[in-house]
Amino acid sequence: MTETAATWCDRFRAATESDPVIQSMARFYTCTFLLDMGEVSILVRMDDGQVREIVPDPPPLTAYQFALRASAETWRQFAEKNPPPFFHGFLAAATHHDLRIEGDVTVMMQNLRNFTQQLELLREVGVPLGEA
């Protein structure tokens, strides 16, 4: 793990665990997901609204329930403070850009409000990717 990824993981954890929206509804926010950003993948394990583990570039065959996969450029635009049209939400990026949703979509939908809020935190902490 590079120092950049480690620092990012710490900031993402802190942002998630201090977010008032997530924490107000977090009791049952439990799932494991993968954010595949092309240059780096991030595995996040949530348990009752707490980040139990964040693993940059998890080894092959690491289990997760669902994944969002997109190019590094899509993630960079999604994480902008004021994203361009159709990068404002992951469903819009899936419809109009190269973001793909894979895995157990039922689990994602059961946690949709918190998961969406957590993705919005990327606009504060950025993404663990180098410059384009």
Q: What CATH number is given to the structural domain containing 45?
A: 3.30.1050.10
pLDDT of residue 132: 59
HSE value, Cβ hemisphere, 13 Å, CA-based, for 45: 9
pLDDT of residue 27: 82
Q: Which residue has the higher pLDDT, 130 or 87?
A: 87
Confidence of residue 110 (pLDDT cuts 50, 70, 90): very high
Q: What is the pTM for the complete model shown?
A: 0.92
Average pLDDT rounded to a whole number, residues 103-115: 96
- Domain tally, the chain: 1
Percentage of the residues of the chain whose pLDDT score is greater than 90: 83
- Residue 9 inside a domain? The answer is yes
- Residue 132 inside a domain? The answer is no
Per the structure, the complete domain to which residue 115 belongs is given by 3-125
Confidence of residue 1 (pLDDT cuts 50, 70, 90): very low
Bridge-based pairing of strands 66-69 and 100-103 is antiparallel
Q: What is the dihedral of CA 87, 88, 89, 90, to 10 degrees?
A: 20
